[in-house]
Homo-oligomer: A and B are copies of this chain.
Amino acid sequence: MSAWPKKHLLSIEDLTADDIHRLLELTDHMVEINHRPIPKVPALRGKNVVSLFFEDSTRTRTSFDTAAKRLSADTMNFTVSASSVNKGESLRDTIETISSMGVDAFVVRHKSSGAPVAITKWTNASIVNAGDGWHQHPTQALLDCYTIRTRLNRRDSFEGLRIAIVGDIKHSRVARSDVQAFAALGAHITLVAPPTLLPPSVADWPVDVSHDLDALLPHLDVLYLLRVQRERMDDALLPSLEEYSALYGLTTARAARLAPHALIMHPGPMNRGVEMVVDPSELPGSAILDQVTNGVAVRMAVLFTLLGASGDLRSENVS
């Protein structure tokens, strides 16, 4: 039995495999809505969904915004630079103030791990973690699961699937969230990274570690590439982008070594010429734009689960 109270979505760790499966099944329904001529339902009419981004991300903010609008919620966007935080107001005061205007959910991105959890103490609204530091990005993990589930037709389990996650594991909330979600669904996960970009705690993770991507490639069902942060070179954790690309970048030659059914995934935005040397639009295994499309549907499922339990998913006949 799940102990997840369906009030917040803070971390994949809070979800059981069953919780994940239920969210993915609800996502199927949202995908069906998104294929209608008028992809809109009144489920969250009158609900106020506020995105509060202390780090810029057009991609994630827009995806949540689109998801909320398709459920007929009202939406508002805050970014740090436009907020009173600039005037020295504390995060707590900002949250309490906006919350007092009547907010049903905050979608929060923050550079500090744990900020979304802290925020739950200062508001009655639901909190969706849209990325906090190196910690978690749970909707990314859910959309990745949904993409694998539909593209590889694995509705019941990921048992037996071999997934490699390649790149800067240490600083990646996507890697942490994906490892937990993929493992919960039963996949076998291998992390591939230079030793400087692996976290000390990796020994306790449910994964294998490899430094030899080329040997792995023919055996993979999913090759998941992480974005290389150029800042890591300034930190002397990477010798050069060229060397990274030579060892871990997806070239035409490496793509040719993948099994025909294998998926290529990336959370975006891609560094073309670094981790992504080949043009993925020329690879039939690329699921990268599917990830983006599925992101809207997964976020609809999450918002509906947190806010709309009693709501209505019938075809729109009012707004």
Contacts and interface: CB of A to CB of B under 8 A. Distances in A.
Nearest to A79: B82
A56 to B, nearest CB: 6
Copies of this chain, tallied across the complex: 3
A58 interface: yes
Nearest to A37: B46
Contacts of A100: 289-290, 292-293
Chain A interface: which size bin?
35 or more
A112 interface: no
Interface string A42-72: 0001101000000011110011011001000
Contacts of A57: 84
Contact of A101 (B66, B94, B98): B66
Given A38-B45, A93-B268, A101-B295, 9 more contacts: A40-B45, A40-B46, A48-B66, A58-B98, A88-B271, A89-B270, A93-B269, A94-B269, A100-B290
Interface of A: 34, 36-40, 45-46, 48, 56-59, 62-63, 65-66, 69, 74, 76, 78-79, 82-84, 86-90, 93-94, 96-98, 100-102, 230, 268-272, 281, 289-290, 292-293, 295-296, 316-319
